Amino acid sequence: MTDVNNPDSRARRNVFVLVLAQAVMGSQMPMIFILGGLAGQSLASNPCWGTLPISLIVFGSMSTAPWMSQVMQHFGRKTGFFIGAAGGALGAGISAYALTVSSFPLFLVGSYLTGIYMSAQGFYRFAAVDTASAAYQPKAMSYVMAGGLLSAVLGPQMIKVTVDAAAIPFLGTYLTVIAINIFGSGLFLFLDIPIPDKTPAGHVHGRSRLEMLRTPKIAVAIIAAMVSYALMNLMMTSAPLAVVGSGFSKGNAADVVMAHVLAMYIPSFFTGALIAKFGVERIIAAGLVILAGAGLVGLSGIDLTHFFGALVLLGVGWNFGFIGASTLLASAHTPEERGRIQGLNDMIVFGMVTVASLASGGLMNCSGGSVLEGWDSVNLAMIPFLALAGGALLWLWLRPDEV
């Protein structure tokens, strides 16, 4: 029930539930992204394909996003989130079995199904604003993203406990992921988000997908989100391989990724306030500058301090760029249009992330004769994408009267 004295009381309750879901359910993502490439390398006959499992996760998210968005539009957020948890549990189960029989193709199948969970998790940020006032929306989205802070700590620490818990490497971690999906999905029972009004047959409310893509704010929001997420994935996917390849331990790799994921989510406590104060375009621009700084630090060496520095900057840059872009998108469409544009947005974003994760393994393992050359190639590959997003943002600034 909504408190008449606080129009955002329902939104605040939903945000609290989504923060917990981001923390608990989200802990599986750093676990899978840290170990996916290492497990892939152990199963693949060619090391160039080591990061293919991560690419399949992202591809699964990309291909799931359009129909997942429509499911949520017609049947509600809860239904979509339960489907996501089921996909995550099934994907982890198949991946675990693949490890026991040393089957790389089967491991890829499990990875693809894991993408169903990743797609559902991507809609947490949009669900946060469904019942929020315009003034509360940036903070609601930012707080939900901040829920990833606990997952940033919990996921890597669970790796340390579970990665060698079974005789087969990595098996214990994937079994733990199954449990996270089964028990964590109970949180969604406490969501209170109404299902959008049904559109009468033959009648379309709002703009078409093509019309929305031609809207400057929406186009720039998609480009900024695509670049921020793709570059984050490009570096993060390669980082564990680069850390271990430089002579450090798997524990060191987990610590680097934990620092990175912390940096992704700690700024969320104030990103919404910064957007409200300085404007969403300036926060996106700051994110792109910080991402460029991550690449520069990555190019400066392969000591552990360089890895920590680059990955921390990468996390902060992603936070500003992605939350800013998501906020910009949410402000540029109506409730009737959300099922069309949110799914299309995530399909495009994760399509580029899929390309980035595929390129990551090839650049890291097959673009040079050493770890240093491979890691340098990964960092240099950021330049054209940053130029694209920066140019799109400048284009939006030059036409401020258009939405």
The predicted pLDDT at position 403 comes to 47
198 within a domain of the structure (yes/no): no
The predicted pLDDT at position 188 comes to 95
Which residue intervals of 300-337 are DSSP H helices?
A: 304-330
- Token output for 387: 């130029």
201 within a domain of the structure (yes/no): no
How far does CA 326 lie from the centroid of its chain?
A: 12
271 within a domain of the structure (yes/no): yes
The predicted pLDDT at position 80 comes to 95
- Which residues, other chains included, contact 80 with Cβ-Cβ below 8 Å and sequence gap of 6+? 68, 69, 71, 72, 120, 123
3-state secondary structure 275-291: HHHHCHHHHHHHHHHHH
b/e per residue, 152-190, with b = 16+ CB within 10 A?
bbbbbbbbeebbeebeebbbbbbbbbbebbeebbebbee
How far does CA 64 lie from the centroid of its chain?
A: 14
Phi and psi, residue 256, nearest 5°: -65, -45
- Is the Cβ–Cβ distance between 321 and 225 less than 8 Å? yes
The predicted pLDDT at position 297 comes to 95
Q: Provide the domain limits for residue 100.
A: 9-193+209-397
216-245 vs 250-265: helix axis angle to the nearest 10?
A: 160
Name the DSSP class of 331.
T
The predicted pLDDT at position 205 comes to 67
Phi and psi, residue 6, nearest 5°: -140, 95
CA distance 330 to 217: 10
- Which residues, other chains included, contact 401 with Cβ-Cβ below 8 Å and sequence gap of 6+? none
CA distance 312 to 236: 10
237 within a domain of the structure (yes/no): yes
In tens digits, the chain (403 residues) has pLDDT values of 445 456 688 999 999 999 999 999 999 988 888 788 788 878 877 777 777 888 889 889 889 988 998 899 889 999 999 999 999 999 999 999 999 999 999 999 999 999 999 999 989 988 998 888 888 888 888 888 888 788 878 887 888 888 888 888 889 999 999 999 999 999 999 999 988 766 555 555 678 778 888 888 999 999 999 999 999 988 988 888 888 888 888 778 878 888 887 898 888 888 888 998 899 999 999 999 999 999 999 999 888 999 999 999 999 999 999 999 988 988 887 777 777 788 888 888 888 887 887 787 778 877 667 778 888 999 999 999 999 999 999 998 887 555 4
CATH number at residue 154: 1.20.1250.20
In order, the DSSP letters of 183-245 are: HHGGGGGG---PPPPPPPTT---S--HHHHHTSHHHHHHHHHHHHHHHHHHHHHHHHHHHHHH
- Token output for 6: 């606080």
281 within a domain of the structure (yes/no): yes
Give the torsion sign (CA, 32, 34, 38, 40): positive
The predicted pLDDT at position 2 comes to 47
- Token output for 211: 């019309």
3 within a domain of the structure (yes/no): no
92 within a domain of the structure (yes/no): yes
The model carries a pTM of 0.75
The predicted pLDDT at position 118 comes to 92
- Token output for 76: 């509600």
402 within a domain of the structure (yes/no): no
Count of structural domains, the chain: 1
b/e per residue, 284-319, with b = 16+ CB within 10 A?
bbbbbebbbbbbebbbeebeeebbbbbbbbbbbbbb
* Among 151, 182, 115, CA closest to 27: 151
CA distance 238 to 37: 8
